[in-house]
Structure 1
Amino acid sequence: MQILFLIALLLVPMMVHADIVVSVRTIRAKEVILASDLEIKSIAVEGAVADPGILVGKEARVALYPGRPIRAADVGPPAIVDRNDLVTLVFGRATLSITAEGRALGRGAVGERIRVMNLSSRTTITGRIRPDGQIEVN
């Protein structure tokens, strides 16, 4: 009888409490997250971020409300190019490098692709954002 009880106990799912990260204030979308914006709560939420170090310095993609769990998809790298920013377009092959002035038609972080308008030709092109804020065009 005791063996059946032990087996039944093992088969019943147990609620495991884990630490998750929540915000202490409302963080608007496009706002960079600081360590002082976060606290740790001891509850189990599937998919919630458990390490505040992962979130610090990231940009909120959606509004984050106080006491609610933060998921990895809710944050991303901070944007370095905003819509309507003047940017340098760079086209490079081997020893040849051509630059032009452009206007960003979107916003994005390092490595993301955005649409840009070449100001001299008024042509819309797509390029990848470099760490220095220039747009690499192929």
Structure 2
Amino acid sequence: MRWLAVFMLMLAAPSQASVLAAARTLPAGTIIAAADLRAVDSNRPGITDPSQAIGLQTRITIYEGRPIQSNLLQPPRLVQRNQIVRLTFARGALRIVTSARSLSDGASGEVIRVMNLDSRSSVDAVVQDDGSLLALN
């Protein structure tokens, strides 16, 4: 009978684990640095490894002390909607570089839609690490 009482106490007590929380209020779009994180004991789920958060961008505002969950983070956006970007079209030795307007936000490696400013036609393009775009069509 005694083991049953111990088992019931274990179920009733909330389990607390060390998770990462915001050390300050992080507005949406903030790139997380090590100084933005602190370990707290919480019964709410959250990220436990700093390498899973550092370098990522917040999707929404995360208030100070709130545990950081992976669904609140995204890869940093290199291209913003309506931004004028350099668009490169490359096929073999042919290489054409022009200006385009992005029609959505994009992180490195994502495919986004852009509008060529000269022809006004829309094409799909891959966001490069430097923020430029490489046309797919």
**Counterpart mapping for 1:10-89 below 5 A:** 13=11, 15-46=14-45, 48-89=46-87
Q: What is the Cα-based RMSD across aligned positions, in Å?
A: 2.1
After TM superposition, give the deviation of residue 44 of structure 1 in Å.
Answer: 2.6
State TM-score, norm by structure 2.
0.83
Q: How far apart in 2 are the matches of 1:66 and 1:82?
A: 27
Q: How far apart in 2 are the matches of 1:62 and 1:83?
A: 17
14-23 or 117-126, which moves further after superposition?
Answer: 14-23
Q: How far apart in 1 are the matches of 2:132 and 2:84?
A: 10
Match of 1:116 in 2: 114
After TM superposition, give the deviation of residue 110 of structure 1 in Å.
Answer: 0.3
Q: Which residue identity lines up with residue 76 of structure 1 in the other structure?
A: Q
SS at match of 2:35: helix
Question: Which consecutive unaligned segments of at least 5 residues does structure 1 have?
Answer: none
Match of 2:3 in 1: 6
Q: Which residue identity lines up with residue 106 of structure 2 in the other structure?
A: G
Query: How many correspondences in the alignment?
Result: 134
Aligned pair in 2 of structure 1 residues 5, 93: CA closer, same or farther (>3 Å)? Answer: farther
Task: Show CA shifts across 1:24-80 (max 9, x none).
Answer: 22111111122222211012323x111223212211011101111111011112111
Aligned sequence identity (%): 34
After TM superposition, give the deviation of residue 7 of structure 1 in Å.
Answer: 6.1
Q: How far apart in 2 are the matches of 1:94 and 1:131?
A: 21
7-16 or 31-40, which moves further after superposition?
Answer: 7-16
SS at match of 1:100: strand
After TM superposition, give the deviation of residue 10 of structure 1 in Å.
Answer: 5.1
Larger strand fraction of residues: 2
After TM superposition, give the deviation of residue 23 of structure 1 in Å.
Answer: 0.8
Q: How far apart in 2 are the matches of 1:107 and 1:25?
A: 26
Q: Which residue identity lines up with residue 80 of structure 2 in the other structure?
A: D
State TM-score, norm by structure 1.
0.82
Q: Which residue identity lines up with residue 93 of structure 2 in the other structure?
A: T
After TM superposition, give the deviation of residue 137 of structure 1 in Å.
Answer: 1.5
Q: How far apart in 2 are the matches of 1:73 and 1:93?
A: 38
Match of 1:104 in 2: 102
